[in-house]
């Protein structure tokens, strides 16, 4: 098994986790009790206030070594895309953090998610594009340490061309993927 250099990864994940916090200058979301929200933290149009786990005494430290995580087949695909769930449960309400592993030449096809997602490239060149037309060879490369935010409902696709890619993806579930043409979520970049 290949060893990953994780130096700097933890600070990058902090960026991913903090990215959803907002600037604190927006108006409150409909139905949100301003008194219940932390001071200065409100949601703007199209956003929602999300309760993030705090450092309460009953929450343990969590340490995860990527060399020992359990990799699961992602959403029943047959092309080798795998996911490791690092924190939370993407199918349930609340925060989640996963790592997706794309084998060379495999992309997600144009799709969207119900939640906003925050991605940080850990290893390899992750290729990304927006829209409904699948053009993997025209996608923009993002190298290790690069960050991308997918807005809720934003049509996009992403994956790997010449090498294996690992991408950390965080969000607030429940999440899922709706493929634009109703077909398979993953395809070959040909």
For residues 55 and 97, the model is more confident at 97
Place of tokens 């906003």: 116
Q: How far is C-alpha 43 from the geometric centre of its chain's CA atoms?
A: 20
Place of tokens 């084998």: 103
* 44-58, 81-95, 103-117, 132-146: least confident range: 44-58
For residues 118 and 5, the model is more confident at 118
Nearest to 102 by CA among 120, 69, 127, 119: 127
The topology under which CATH files domain 61-188 is Jelly Rolls (2.60.120)
* 15-24, 69-78, 91-100: least confident range: 15-24
* Domain extents in the chain: 61-188
Q: Is pLDDT of 50 > 90?
A: no
Label residue 59 by pLDDT band (50, 70, 90). Answer: confident
For residue 86 the two structure tokens come to 């690092």
Q: Is pLDDT of 29 > 60?
A: no
pLDDT digits (tens, 9 = 90+) for 120-140: 999 999 999 999 999 999 999
> Strand pairing partners for 156?
111, 130
Q: How far is C-alpha 41 from the geometric centre of its chain's CA atoms?
A: 22
pLDDT for the residue numbered 11: 39
Instruction: Determine the average pLDDT of the residues in 141-158.
Output: 98
């Amino acid at each position: 098994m290949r060893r990953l250099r994780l130096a700097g990864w933890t600070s990058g994940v902090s960026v991913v986790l903090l990215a959803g916090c907002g600037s604190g200058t927006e108006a409150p979301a409909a139905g949100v009790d301003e008194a219940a929200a932390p001071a200065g933290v409100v949601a703007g149009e199209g956003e929602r206030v999300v309760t993030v786990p705090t450092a309460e005494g009953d929450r343990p430290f969590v340490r995860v070594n990527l060399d020992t995580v359990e990799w699961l087949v992602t959403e029943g695909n047959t092309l080798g895309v795998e996911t490791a769930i690092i924190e939370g449960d993407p199918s349930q309400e609340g925060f989640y953090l996963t790592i997706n592993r794309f084998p060379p030449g495999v992309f997600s096809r144009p799709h969207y998610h119900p939640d906003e997602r925050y991605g940080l490239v850990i290893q390899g060149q992750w290729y990304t594009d927006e829209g409904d037309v699948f053009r993997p060879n025209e996608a923009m490369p993002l190298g290790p340490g690069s960050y991308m935010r997918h807005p809720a409902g934003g049509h996009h696709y992403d994956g790997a061309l010449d090498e294996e890619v690992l991408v950390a993806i965080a969000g607030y579930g429940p999440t899922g993927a709706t493929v634009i043409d109703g077909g398979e979520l993953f395809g070959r970049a040909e």
